[in-house]
Amino acid sequence: MDFFHNLAIGFSTAFQLTNLFYAFVGCLLGTLIGVLPGLGPLATIAMLLPITYALTPEAALIMLAGIYYGAQYGGSTTAIVVNLPGESSSVVTTIDGYQMAKQGRAGVALATAAIASFFAGTVATLAVAALAQPLAATALLFGPKEFFSLMILGLVVASVLSSGPFIEGIGMVVLGMLLSLIGTDINSGTQRFAFGIPQLFDGIDFVPLAMGIFGFAEIVRNLEPHGDISLVTQKIKNLFPTREDFRRMIPAIFRGTALGTILGVLPGGGAVLSSFASYTLEKKLSKHPEQFGKGAIEGVAGPESANNAGAQTSFIPLLTLGIPSNVVMALMVGAMTIHNIQPGPQVMTKNPSLFWGLIVSMWIGNLMLVILNLPLVGLWVKLLSIPYRYLFPAIMVFCSIGVFSINNGTFEVYEAALFCIFGYMLMKLDLPAAPLLLGLVLGPAIEENFRRAMVLSRGDSTVFLTSPLSGGLLAAATIAVVLIMMPAIRSKREEALKE
């Protein structure tokens, strides 16, 4: 009965006109961002964070969540019609989706992506609602040492699954944690590494860093010359799949939904990992693997259901444990912090309307996305013909105004510009920026829980290993490091033997 009572609270919150409006705005922006190649939900959410100051916490999170899963939805349009993924999780969809479009089946491919995404989004929403309470109850059993170990595990796994070598991922995590030390010491109140700059006494603001590294730097990178975009010239029609299409796509949708639901919960998982894993699974299970890459409908249905399910279940560790499972969830932590909301199990008890309203709004948002995407395919494709040089100045001005509005000062704008240069350098050096942001977000909580555990244990550092739960989490982090390092160690050993 509690489950249905909580859902009733969620429906009463989500169906308020203001929240419905911002859910629609989020889905529309997410679809638009998914369609425009190169920007992505990460940069968009980073740019729009300042706007959330003026919104209620419910409206802010509903809109940002809509942008996130809306981008997974919209990215499939350009992946199929243009062979250019609008979002990283749609990369896999280009393989078979574009081939279907070239064969005159663009409408079927788009309908398949819509059906798969809606079904996966509905199932994932129910999974979030069902798993939230048990996980939140478990989280209440955690003490400082357990939370410290859980955050360490999350950062390690996120580094393991990030793009680039593991050592680089860990290095960026450490750099993010070092940046989080700037400001006022949480215990003594003394200033650390602020260099006498008053604006740094409260630490590095989350919004300028995120907007600089993921927003401005992405815009600058997109100004580099790219190849021409080739549009599918045939008129998009025959949206309804055939009986044979349904026979082949339904099992793929079920498998992709299950896989995305599981992988979305894992630290470092989410939509990108889910879509790649689903495509690999479908190709291995298929009776006709030779058709993959030539227009196999399973190659669209599986990844599209997996990326949407993974995008939504990644909210589970954020809302129940307070741990962001990927960098977009780290931005959601920033949005919650702006509204003085501490992510974790207490959100459910202290602010049930926010918690359950966000969950119900996910289902409403998925319904909106079905209505938005298919009728507006022609419009989304036409947007791609607008030269990027006309779009970026307006985006830059809008974002600069947003950063300025944080404290009505220019310091944050200079900060964002500095981090833009830094973010662009990271892109050129092929260094992952996502672990840096996770380190910055989790750094203060890791430090606080570590110091609290040390005080309670009177300086005994073995307390992290003697506690069964804490020790198990640290053991899991160690195993993850060993597993990722074994191939590198083996290859070096083989090279040494050859010499």
Q: What is the rounded distance in angstroms from the CA atom of residue 107 to the CA atom of residue 421?
A: 42
**Please, what is the average pLDDT of the chain?**
77
- What is the pLDDT averaged over residues 351-370? 83
Q: Which phi-psi region, left, alpha or beta, contains residue 164 (left: φ > 0; alpha: ψ -120 to 50)?
A: left
State the pLDDT confidence band at 21, using cuts at 50, 70 and 90: very high
Q: In this predicted structure, what is the pLDDT of residue 158?
A: 65
* One-letter amino acid for residue 41 of the chain: P
pLDDT tens readout for residues 102-148 = 787 877 888 888 888 888 888 888 887 777 777 767 766 777 888 78
State the pLDDT confidence band at 233, using cuts at 50, 70 and 90: very low
Q: What is the rounded distance in angstroms from the CA atom of residue 169 to the CA atom of residue 430?
A: 11
State the angle between helix axes of 91-102 and 271-285 in degrees (0 to 180), rounded to the nearest 10.
Answer: 50
Domain ranges (residues) in the chain: 2-498
Q: What is the rounded distance in angstroms from the CA atom of residue 304 to the CA atom of residue 94?
A: 11
State the pLDDT confidence band at 338, using cuts at 50, 70 and 90: confident
470 Cβ contact partners less than 8 Å away, ≥ 6 residues apart: 145, 146, 148, 149, 463, 464
Q: In this predicted structure, what is the pLDDT of residue 36?
A: 67
pLDDT tens readout for residues 81-96 = 766 665 656 667 877 8
Q: What is the rounded distance in angstroms from the CA atom of residue 228 to the CA atom of residue 361?
A: 38
Q: Pick 211 or 267 by higher pLDDT.
A: 211
